[in-house]
Structure 1
Amino acid sequence: MRRHFTFACAGEILAATLDEADGSTGLLIVSGGNEIRSGAHAGMAALAAAVAVAGHPVMRYDRRGIGDSTGENAGFDSSADDISAAVLAMRAEVPTLTRLVAFGNCDAASSLALYGPAAGIDALVLANMWTLESESDEADEDEAAATMTAGAIRSRYLAKLKDPRELSRLASGGVNIGKLVRGLKQATAKTEVTGLAARLGQALAGMPLPTKLLVAEHDRTAMWFLEHWDSEPFTPARANPNLTMARLASGSHSFASSDDKAWLRERILEALK
């Protein structure tokens, strides 16, 4: 059975949905970006229903300022209170719960990495983790490049050089030469991890929870994460025995195809066992 309810968070009222099941291990789905709790094309609602059929209660919610919830939308990096309140709400709504796994995609994965361990969560599933300072993957080239590794910048420019439309833009003067030169300089520079990526590296290095990292290998956000993951500053994170990684040969950020959905569902069910 699916039912809707509300719970309090920092003086605001958050809307939530619970797909009920008899199992004592439950799933908390944290929405990414500015998506409502049903997800893109109702993908998270469908995932919740499938996991509940497998015997696990599943809760989704809208963080402050999103969807049916009140308050101001301050972005994923201000969602620590929302996550903690959601954990308390799910444990109250499902008193038989003994273990809670949280799943997030994109910046929801990043917020869970940063704030999940202190919220009373028992395990994490983090997909296509967001590592850029901007909260949009349509960021200006300079803004995006500022937090990308040199390898990621090289990959980006190689992809552009293989695109006939980009070559046409270059030949016709449609490319900002100043940005191109700056980008090529960064592509040859030594990798530095700063800002959000550095915070995530530290969080993953010290992650005390069993955590499964999921990556759609051809998704741009996942590729940026993998470039950081493979860099020297992430060495302590790669050595953390609590972290495992599963890779999917897909470019779908939201696991949109039926095969991608099935793969994601199986990885989550593995974490719930």
Structure 2
Amino acid sequence: MRHQLSFACEGAVLAASLDEAADGTGLLIVSGGNEIRSGAHRGMAMLAARLAEAGHPVFRFDRRGIGDSEGTNGGFESSGPDIAAAIAAFRAAAPNMVRIVAFGNCDAASALLLHQPLALDGLIIANPWTYDGAAEETDEPALPPASAIRARYLSRLKDPKSLLRLIRGEVDFRKLFRGLSALKAPTPATAPDGLAARIDKAVAGLGAPATILLATGDRTAQAFVENCPAALSRVPVERLASPSHSFAGDDGEWLAARILAILNQPSLRA
């Protein structure tokens, strides 16, 4: 059964949803960007219902200044108190629960890493945001890393259909030249105090088990792979061949299956 509830965070009242279930391991969903707790196309609400049906309680919330919550929206870098308050509210609302795993996509994934330590028993980090600046402030999607562009063009050059589209003039040359120009640009060095460097450092210091989920065709995931190589060597990574940043459509089945597998891990229940 789903309940709507609220909890306090630094003087503001935050809105939340709890999908009840009997298992002792629950999932906290942290929303990314300025997304409300139901998620894009209600994706997180549907994910919560599925996980609860499988036996796991799920807690979602709107951080300060988002959706039905009071307060000022300070972005993901100031959301540590929101997440900590949500963890406490989740435990209070589901007293039989003994373990909490948190899931976040995009800058919510980055927030879960940056605001450690948190009272969590595990982390599921999807397509972490590594560009300096908030995800919602980007007017145009960032280009993929040069390595991803090279791989994409090489694949297209091998595809007769792509060559036929080029001959017929069906290719958007503005996008083509933008992509080719990116290949010439030198890869900027990661700033030692930049977001990517801080995420690498946060992964190195994690006290709870974590899993990274990546949609390999997603630009944000591609940038994470290029910007945070150390993180990839420290944490198990599972990849889905998809361009969907939010695991939309059928990709949602893969996401739910991976989360369920992690929630049911014997090591987490030890």
Q: Please, what TM-score do these two structures have when normalized by structure 2?
A: 0.83
Q: 1:261 maps to which residue?
A: 252
User: Which amino acid in 1 is paired with 2:52?
Assistant: A
Report if the CA contact (8 A) 2:107-2:135 is conserved. no
Structure-2 change in CA distance of 1:19 and 1:168 (3 Å): closer
1:185 Cα shift? 5.3
User: Which amino acid in 2 is paired with 1:14?
Assistant: L
Unaligned runs of 5+ in 1: none
1:139 Cα shift? 3.3
User: Which amino acid in 1 is paired with 2:205?
Assistant: G
Q: 2:77 maps to which residue?
A: 77
Matched, 1:228 2:227: yes
Question: Counterpart of 2:236 in 1: which secondary structure?
Answer: strand
Q: 1:206 maps to which residue?
A: 205
Q: 1:62 maps to which residue?
A: 62
Structure-2 change in CA distance of 1:218 and 1:11 (3 Å): same
User: What is the CA deviation profile of residues 122-180 of structure 1, one whole-angstrom value per residue up to 9, with x for unaligned ones?
Assistant: 10001111110132377368x957xx866467679989x98865525789xxx7xxxx9
Question: Counterpart of 1:97 in 2: which secondary structure?
Answer: coil
Percent of residue pairs identical? 54
Report if the CA contact (8 A) 2:51-2:58 is conserved. yes
Q: How does 1:27-176 map to 2 (within 5 A)?
A: 27-115=27-115, 117-136=116-135, 139=138, 151=147, 165-167=171-173
After TM superposition, the structure 1 stretch with the greater mean CA deviation from structure 2, 206-215 or 44-53, is: 206-215
Distance 1:36 1:248 in 2: 25
Report if the CA contact (8 A) 2:225-2:232 is conserved. no
User: What is the CA deviation profile of residues 213-250 of structure 1, one whole-angstrom value per residue up to 9, with x for unaligned ones?
Assistant: 00011111111112223xxxx33x3442xx21100011
Aligned CA RMSD, in angstroms, stands at 2.9
User: Which amino acid in 1 is paired with 2:27?
Assistant: L
Structure-2 change in CA distance of 1:222 and 1:169 (3 Å): closer
Report if the CA contact (8 A) 1:64-1:73 is conserved. yes
User: What is the CA deviation profile of residues 54-73 of structure 1, one whole-angstrom value per residue up to 9, with x for unaligned ones?
Assistant: 11100000000000000111
Report if the CA contact (8 A) 2:33-2:136 is conserved. no
Distance 2:71 2:83 in 1: 15
Structure-2 change in CA distance of 1:12 and 1:140 (3 Å): closer
User: Which amino acid in 1 is paired with 2:110?
Assistant: S
Question: Counterpart of 1:92 in 2: which secondary structure?
Answer: helix
User: Which amino acid in 1 is paired with 2:127?
Assistant: N
Q: 1:271 maps to which residue?
A: 262
Q: 1:192 maps to which residue?
A: 189
Q: 1:245 maps to which residue?
A: 237
1:205 Cα shift? 1.8
Question: Counterpart of 1:64 in 2: which secondary structure?
Answer: coil
Structure-2 change in CA distance of 1:165 and 1:51 (3 Å): same
User: Which amino acid in 1 is paired with 2:249?
Assistant: S
Distance 2:247 2:112 in 1: 19
Distance 1:157 1:193 in 2: 25
Question: Counterpart of 2:117 in 1: which secondary structure?
Answer: helix
1:262 Cα shift? 1.0
Report if the CA contact (8 A) 2:37-2:45 is conserved. yes
User: Which amino acid in 2 is paired with 1:78?
Assistant: S
Q: How many residues align?
A: 252
Distance 1:92 1:38 in 2: 21
Distance 1:73 1:53 in 2: 32
Distance 1:16 1:2 in 2: 10
User: Which amino acid in 2 is paired with 1:90?
Assistant: F
